[in-house]
Each structure stands twice: as C-alpha cells, then as structure tokens.
C-alpha cells in the first residue's frame, strides 16, 4: 500500500529530521513517496538522502512564498494515485510501525458499510515531543499519553473574524470516535481525499481547517479520532527551538502582498463557502447539509451561533456516539 506524505515547510530546521524519521520508522519504507515544498533560504541537500528517489522536492525562496495552503496545493500536484494520503507539518517525529498502525485503523473503519466509513479521515492534534539535542536528532516523545485525542471548538475564540473560529485539542473516553473538525498538521485518508478535496490555494492560514472540514463533511467523508496516534508534533509555544513564521514582520516586509491581505482574502473565502456562494470543487458538496453539521458539533456556522456548548467545546457528545454507526 503506497502512502503519499505531504510536508509543507517554512524555514524549519527540523524538516530533514521529519523526513528521515518517517522513512526510518516505517514498516514499509519503500512504499512511501514524499511531496516537499521547502520554503527556505537554503535548500536541503536532497541528493545526500539515500532514498531521494522517493522524494518529490521543490525549493522556494521565502520571498516568493504565498503561505501554507498555497504550498500544500503545490505539493498535491505531485500526488500520483497512491493509496493513502498523509499530511503533516515539518516538525514531527514518528514511532516504529506508524504506517501499519494508521492503515490498520483506516481498514477497521472501512469494514463498516456506510459512505462516511468508506471515506474516513483520521486526524487530531498529535502528542508532543521535546528536543533534547537538535544537532544529533535526540528527541523525547510523549509516549505515556495513550488517549484518543479529539478536536473541539475553543470557547474563547468563536467567530473572532467573521465565520472563523479557533480549535483546540480535547480527549475522548473511547478507542475510536467520530469527529467534526480537522487538524491540517496531521490528517490521514485515502486517495479520494486528494481527488475530491484538493487544497484551495486561495486560503492563507486562517480558515484552512474549517474549510477543509466543511468540504469533506458535505461530500460524505467521515472524520474519526483514534488512540495514541504514532506521530508526534513539536509545539512552538512550549519549545525552545524557534523557527521563522511566514507572517513574521522581518519576513513579510520584503513582500509586495502582505500576510494580512492574504488572511483577509481567506476569511472572505471561508464566509463564501459557509454561505454556499462557492461553486464546484472548492465549495460545499451535496451529500450532507450544514444542518447535519449542527447536530454533531452544536455550532451554527451560518448564523454564527453556539447551539450546544457541550457539543461544541468538549468531546463528550462525539464520545457517546457509536463510532461504527452513521449518526445521521
């Protein structure tokens, strides 16, 4: 089973370590293809990586970068009918057998004969890791946390910019459970995800995850959370390893189009999608409607209302639903 791994990287010192960790910890490394958009001042020496024939690499000067969604869209141009699609950030570490683990769960979900189970998306904000020695690739992975990590809305950040809301990690009390939000820094799905929900380069950063979720949800995809995801994320707010960000002032000052202009365009596009003003593949699908989404999430995105705080801000409701049943 072939896996395409999408990694959009911006000035990230951990990019090479992320690539090598995925390869070295895989049960079937020869079945991996990496799609890399490296937006950095100095390109990686790809030729020095022994499996470089499995890497589709593009280097872009940060001055000409248009943001993470633009980069992820470019990466998907290299997708070539692999069986599975894994999208991650460029500062991740992997556990042994991560590929077998994810495929096992996606196949278990697909044993259920419903459309949402046939088109699953496994996602979460993964467990964290700490950097012990960046020069020698020594890391401390938070393996003691074996919970099923879900995603909820952040109560203090609802509709902060038109229809845009922030998300936060939560915990479920069961092995597999339904979800209603997507994390762009870790999602695993079948090739149908790339085919039916290609990245929209009109987005910058804000609105990326909600727009992906809505396009997937209304096309009949199912969002699922599983326990102990075997991929770990370096969270910038708690790490001593710092990296430049696309919207940093010293980065943005060099560009003609500023980050806040791109962000404003994203917020407008998200509003257009939610209000069904976007036609075609980048708009809503026709398998489900937003009223279905309100039932699962407790959030009315169109009218910007919280209908059920328990559903919106915790994982209790989705934990209570049988994962192997279609809740609609």
CATH of the domain at 228: 3.90.550.10
The CA-to-CA distance between both ends of the chain, in Å, stands at 31
Query: Domain for residue 133, yes or no?
Result: yes
Query: Domain for residue 87, yes or no?
Result: yes
**With contact defined as beta carbons under 8 Å apart, do 59 and 44 qualify?**
yes
What confidence score (pLDDT) does residue 199 get?
97
What confidence score (pLDDT) does residue 69 get?
96
How many domains does the chain contain in total?
1
Residues 137-187: pLDDT tens digits? 899 899 999 999 999 999 999 998 888 899 999 888 789 999 999 999 999
Global pTM reads 0.95
pLDDT of 109 strictly over 80: yes
Looking at the DSSP bridge assignments, the partners of residue 57 are 36
What confidence score (pLDDT) does residue 177 get?
95
pLDDT of 118 strictly over 80: yes
Query: Domain for residue 310, yes or no?
Result: yes
DSSP state string for 313-328 = H-SHHHHHS-TTS---
Distance, CA of 133 to CA of 1 (rounded, Å): 34
CA count, 13 A, side-chain hemisphere, 73: 16
What confidence score (pLDDT) does residue 43 get?
95
Query: Domain for residue 117, yes or no?
Result: yes
Query: Domain for residue 236, yes or no?
Result: yes
Query: Domain for residue 183, yes or no?
Result: yes
Which residues span the domain enclosing 275?
A: 3-320
Query: Domain for residue 154, yes or no?
Result: yes
The sign of the torsion formed by the CA atoms of 150, 151, 153, 157 equals positive
pLDDT of 239 strictly over 70: no
Section 69-94 average pLDDT: 97
Query: Domain for residue 325, yes or no?
Result: no
Residues 262-272: pLDDT tens digits? 888 999 999 99
CB atoms within 10 A of CB 106: 21
């Amino acid at each position: 089973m072939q896996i395409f791994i999408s990694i959009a990287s911006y000035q990230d010192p951990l990019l090479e370590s992320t690539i090598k960790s995925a390869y070295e910890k895989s049960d079937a490394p020869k079945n991996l293809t990496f799609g890399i958009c490296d937006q950095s001042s100095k390109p990686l020496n790809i030729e020095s990586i022994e499996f470089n024939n499995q890497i589709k690499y593009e280097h872009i000067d940060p001055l000409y970068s248009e943001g993470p969604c633009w980069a992820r869209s470019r990466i998907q141009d290299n997708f070539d009918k692999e069986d599975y699609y894994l999208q991650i950030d460029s500062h991740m570490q992997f556990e042994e057998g991560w590929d077998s683990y994810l495929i096992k769960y996606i196949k278990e979900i697909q044993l259920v004969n419903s459309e949402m189970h046939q088109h699953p998306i496994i996602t979460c904000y993964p467990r964290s890791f700490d950097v012990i020695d960046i020069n020698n690739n020594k890391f401390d992975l938070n393996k003691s946390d074996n919970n099923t990590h879900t995603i909820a809305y952040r109560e203090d950040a609802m509709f902060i910019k038109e229809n845009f809301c922030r998300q936060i990690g939560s915990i479920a009390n069961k092995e597999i459970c339904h979800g209603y939000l997507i994390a762009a820094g870790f999602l695993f799905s079948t090739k149908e995800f790339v085919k039916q929900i290609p990245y929209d380069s009109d987005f910058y950063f804000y609105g990326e995850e909600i727009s992906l979720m809505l396009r997937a949800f209304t096309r009949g995809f199912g969002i699922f959370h599983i326990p102990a995801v075997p991929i770990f994320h370096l969270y910038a707010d708690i790490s001593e390893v710092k990296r430049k960000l696309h919207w940093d002032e010293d980065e943005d000052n060099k560009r003609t189009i500023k980050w806040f202009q791109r962000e404003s365009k994203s917020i407008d596009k998200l509003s257009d999608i939610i209000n069904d003003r976007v036609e075609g593949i980048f708009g809503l699908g026709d398998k489900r409607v937003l009223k279905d989404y309100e039932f699962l999430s407790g959030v009315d995105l169109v009218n910007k209302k919280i209908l059920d705080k328990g559903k919106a801000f915790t994982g209790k409701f989705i934990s209570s639903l049988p994962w192997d049943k279609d809740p609609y």
